[in-house]
Amino acid sequence: MSQLFRPLQLRDLTIRNRAWVSPMCQYSATDGVPTDWHLVHLGSRAVGGAGLVMAEATAVVPEGRISYGDLGLWNATQQAAFERIAAFIAAQGAVPAIQLAHAGRKASTNLPWLGGAPLPPGSPHGWQPLGPSPVAFDAASTVPTELDEAALDNIIAAFVAAAQRALAAGFKVAEIHSAHGYLLHEFLSPLSNRRTDRYGGSLANRMRFPLAVAAAVRAVWPQQLPLFVRISASDWLDGGWDITQSIAYAADLKKLGVDLIDCSSGGLAPGAQIPNQPGYQVPFAAAIRRETGIATGAVGLITEAVQAEAIIANGDADAIFLARAMLRDPYWAARGAQQLGAEFDWPRQYGRAKLA
């Protein structure tokens, strides 16, 4: 029996297989509101057999967006627009999931196809980024405003409110974005967190704010539904965040009731030497799973069904998050099931479909 296409039980939720759609920014929202693009983009991958379909980084406050085209979940209009998307994903047998995020110092950029450059405050579509310390991402970026404790409390409240809206919209899994150089990752890494208060310095202090966000979201997310956290397991930079610290962070997240660690890496600062080769991040998922006992998801240049099957069969991860492979082929899971000899039930509208 294929291990990739074996169901996964997390709390009371059964996910039909372990081939999942990774959150991938589309930069196509209007005032944070999802559009028909998001319905088709996410819905087609649910039709294509993915077990879980995760909506992209969804900002909990306007200034937490990467760009002005990012999704948001800070108001009722956004929530209402998400409802049909979550319902459609669920109707295809997949689990609707959403990633809740704050971009921190990497906020306020142009759309990628317009160059993606930082947009300074006061420019069209630009605003003032925020961060743990007044340290810019790079020489072209705006120096962020350092967040005080009152602002941190407001951000925690915004994550809680967004989680409640996500639940009301029909999502069954929430993921907290703590990776790729965005706000929570910025607190974790000593390269971006230069604070001298109780949120900076020691590992315990640097983890304090991200753990507070996770605890607050877990408190309002139903006990029968799982909560994920995406991390960058390494900055790939000397003196930065690394796998040893990631294991400690994952262990504390597990104690708070987090159910799965989505193991990515990088994104904190320019100049990282990342070994972009197939499965290069899988050892992070394996180490965290082995050392903490928490479920993990592997991501990063996983493109073939036999490759994904081996990762699950070897016990290196509990699920596979697919990004570019799913962009190239919305029916990746259906094709993978065929290649591995697993059962796949096509939608009745596609009952005559036969894969070559």
- Residues labelled catalytic: 182
Beta strand 227-232 with 260-264 is parallel
Give the Cα separation of 188 and 203 in Å (integer): 8
Give the Cα separation of 33 and 40 in Å (integer): 15
Burial of 208 (0-12, 13-18, 19+ CB in 10 A): middle
Q: How many helices (H) and strands (E) does the chain have?
A: 10, 13
* 263-264-269-274 Cα dihedral, nearest 10 degrees: 120
Give the Cα separation of 356 and 354 in Å (integer): 6
* 321-220-132-97 Cα dihedral, nearest 10 degrees: 20
> Cβ–Cβ contacts within 10 Å for residue 160, how many?
18
Query: How many residues does the structure list for the chain?
Result: 356
Helix residue ranges, H only, the chain: 36-47, 76-91, 149-169, 183-188, 203-220, 243-255, 282-292, 305-313, 324-328, 332-340
SS3 of the chain: helix, strand, coil, percent, to 5: 35, 15, 45
Contact 259, 295 (CB under 8 A): yes
Q: Which helix (H) or strand (E) is 203 found in, with range?
A: helix 203-220
Give the Cα separation of 88 and 66 in Å (integer): 26
Structure tokens at 46: 């649910």
Contact 189, 196 (CB under 8 A): no
